[in-house]
Amino acid sequence: MKISRTYRSVFVFLIVISTAVLSWIGFAKLYPDGNSTGVLQERIFRVVKALLGDPIGNALEDKNLPWELVLAKFFAIFILIGGVYKVVEAVFQTQLTLLRTLFKRNHKIVVGINKKGSRILENLKNCQKENAVAIELVNDHENIKNIRNKGHLVIFGDATDKDVLKEAGIRRAKDFICFFDDEQKSLEIVNAVNEIYDQSKPNNELDCFIH
């Protein structure tokens, strides 16, 4: 069962709040003279560090460390790993997409994420619960975020380019869907697909839907 973005956001929010509360209580036990200005500032500083993913000192547990700090340390590491993943995802989005595409088998490839393409991808997700690979020429298309949020992969490039088609996993795909108003462009894409299959002779059968 896939968790919705709303529930994921609530979960992350609760983790952050729990880390802050547990850190504050734990440091209050660790520094009982917390009313003094210096200690209070130190406690606030350490709570902020915990929220930023600092694992609160050594990985080895101190025997006298309050259980709240032990749990907060676990949550802080969780936050740190999640933050690193988001940074890597943002910086290496293209590389991660290509890597994930390598593991695609018997998938659908949709050329273009314009109005028609987006509708097809939406139907695939809502009706067939299937994530496809989309090929889009414009790398800042307004529909990219929505397409990715639905779980589809987006490969940027010209679908007439055989290298781009191979990156989308054309030799492992089950269906190839292409709707273009430009008939000449559609023919060029079909020719590129045929050339790939003639040269590599993959084992799977590809169904093409061209308009």
Of 5-19, 42-56, 167-181, give the lowest mean pLDDT range: 42-56
Confidence band, pLDDT 50/70/90 cuts, at residue 42: low
Q: According to the model, what pLDDT value does residue 71 have? A: 78
Helix axes of 67-91 and 37-51: crossing angle, nearest 10 degrees:
50
Q: According to the model, what pLDDT value does residue 63 have? A: 58
Query: Dihedral of CA 17/18/19/21: which sign?
Result: positive
Q: What percent of the chain has pLDDT over 90?
A: 36
Q: Which token pair is 80? A: 């740190």
Query: Dihedral of CA 144/148/149/150: which sign?
Result: positive
pLDDT digits (tens, 9 = 90+) for 82-108: 777 777 776 678 888 888 999 999 999
- Please list the residues that pair with 136 across neighbouring strands: 156
Running DSSP on this structure, what letter comes out for residue 157?
Answer: S
Burial code (b: 16+ CB inside 10 Å, e: under 16) for 21-54 equals: ebbbbbbeebbeeeeeeebeeebeebbeebbebb
Q: Is the separation of the CB atoms in 109 and 176 below 8 Å? A: yes
Q: What span, in angstroms and rounded, lies between the C-alpha atoms of 57 and 117?
A: 51
Is 46 a residue whose pLDDT tops 50? yes
Q: What span, in angstroms and rounded, lies between the C-alpha atoms of 174 and 206?
A: 5
User: How big, in percent rounded to 5, are the helix, strand and coil portions of the chain?
Assistant: 55, 10, 35
Q: What span, in angstroms and rounded, lies between the C-alpha atoms of 133 and 97?
A: 10
pLDDT digits (tens, 9 = 90+) for 100-151: 999 999 999 999 998 889 999 999 999 999 999 999 999 889 999 899 999 9
Closest CA to 160 of 139, 143, 135: 135
Q: According to the model, what pLDDT value does residue 2 have? A: 52
